[in-house]
Amino acid sequence: MDKIFFNEMYFYGYHGAYPEENKLGQRFIVDLELGLDLRPSALNDDLSQTVNYAEVYQAVKKEVEETQVQLVETLAERIADRLLSTFPVEQVLVRVTKPDPPIPGHYKAVGVEILRRKS
């Protein structure tokens, strides 16, 4: 299966299990892989036969910046659901990273990665 990918889209959102995360907000990084057949669009050089990258970006931005959930797991699931229901893709891999979570310790980031397919 062919893929379209988005690396390190940066957003600011208010997701988290701790009250300060919901009040102060924090950075979120989203990576995507969209699985679909790119041959028709490539052979015809036709945007209408593929996925518009700007529309995908705006869809993800809405989920991250205009909603509020406790878990990054929920956020990733909502992003996957939106992309699968809106765009002509067969599967999506969504990675949501929190580079600055309010938990003690030394680490670069925490996050989740999910793979979802159309049923």
Domains and CATH numbers, the chain: 2-117 (3.30.1130.10)
Question: Measured between alpha carbons, how far is 99 from 96 in angstroms, rounded to an integer?
Answer: 10
**33 φ, ψ (degrees, to nearest 5):** -130, 125
- Tens digit of each residue's pLDDT (9 = 90 or more) over 73-118: 999 999 999 999 999 999 999 999 999 888 888 888 999 999 999 9
- Tens digit of each residue's pLDDT (9 = 90 or more) over 22-69: 999 999 999 999 999 999 999 999 999 999 999 999 999 999 999 999
Looking at this protein, which amino acid is placed at residue 106?
Answer: H
Q: Where are the alpha helices (DSSP H) in 15-102?
A: 19-24, 39-44, 53-66, 72-86
Q: For this structure, is 98 an active site residue?
A: yes
pTM for the predicted model, two decimal places = 0.95
Check 3, 61, 98, 118 and give the catalytic one. 98
Confirm if 104 and 83 have CB atoms less than 8 A apart.
no
